[in-house]
């Protein structure tokens, strides 16, 4: 119960700065989230004239009191969704967000299966030795192997 309260408190603390950023964005925030249509790099990395014009436009819209979403929507209307540094989380573009997660989950599952297989601790793999065998806690031996082992041990003892 305490853990749930702690998680909720942390989420609430993270929501306040995110809401403030939405209402009063900075040029630096938007430069990282938008791409120059000319050189296809983020605005913070671009020195193209088009990027300079976009930065000036963003400054004007921030001064006018537009939110981050409004500024992005205006730029998308003007240049298309290619101006966004990350794809929208809807429609076909949702695959860009889900496929890496599915790949990580699949890779984790493969690693877990391989570790289990290589460790030799599968359920039922460790059975007591057959009668006349060596120490307990090993694996069961078939009759021929057990006989050969007994012969070898007898040769060393005698």
DSSP readout, 80-125? Answer: -GGGBSS--SSGGGHHHHHHHHHHHHHHHHHHHHHHHHHHT--TT-
Q: Is residue 20 pLDDT above 90, yes or no?
A: no
Q: Is residue 108 part of a domain?
A: no
In a domain, 65, yes or no: yes
| CATH code assigned at 25 | 1.10.8.640
| Predicted local distance difference test score (pLDDT) of residue 155 | 87
Residue 97 within a domain: no
Angle ∠(146,120,129) on CA atoms, nearest 5 = 25
Structural domain that includes position 76: 18-85
In angstroms, rounded to a whole number, what is the distance separating the alpha carbons of residues 79 and 35? 10
Mean pLDDT computed over 118-124? 65
- 78 found inside a domain: yes
Of 39, 38, 72, the closest CA to residue 57 belongs to 72
For 84, the 3-state DSSP assignment is strand
Q: Report yes or no on 28 lying in a domain.
A: yes
Tell me whether residue 6 is in a domain. no
- 111 within domain boundaries: no
Asked if residue 146 is part of any domain, the answer here is: no
Backbone φ and ψ of 120, nearest 5°? 75, 15
Total of domains in the chain: 1
Give per-residue pLDDT as tens, 22-75: 778 899 999 999 999 989 899 899 899 999 999 999 999 999 999 999 999 999
């Amino acid at each position: 119960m305490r853990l749930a309260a702690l998680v909720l408190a942390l989420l609430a603390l993270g929501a306040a700065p995110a809401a403030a950023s939405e209402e009063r964005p900075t040029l630096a925030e938007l430069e990282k989230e938008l791409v120059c249509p000319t050189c296809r790099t983020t605005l913070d990395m671009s020195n193209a004239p088009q990027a300079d014009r976009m930065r000036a436009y963003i400054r004007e819209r921030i001064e006018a009191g537009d939110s981050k979403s409004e500024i992005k929507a205006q730029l998308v209307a003007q240049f298309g969704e290619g101006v966004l540094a990350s794809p929208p989380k809807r429609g076909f573009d949702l695959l860009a967000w889900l496929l890496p997660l599915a790949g990580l989950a699949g890779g984790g599952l493969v690693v877990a299966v391989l570790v289990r297989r290589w460790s030799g601790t599968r359920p039922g793999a460790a059975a007591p030795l057959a009668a006349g065998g060596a120490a307990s806690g090993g694996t069961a031996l078939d009759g021929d192997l057990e006989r050969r082992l007994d012969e070898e041990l007898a040769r060393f003892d005698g």
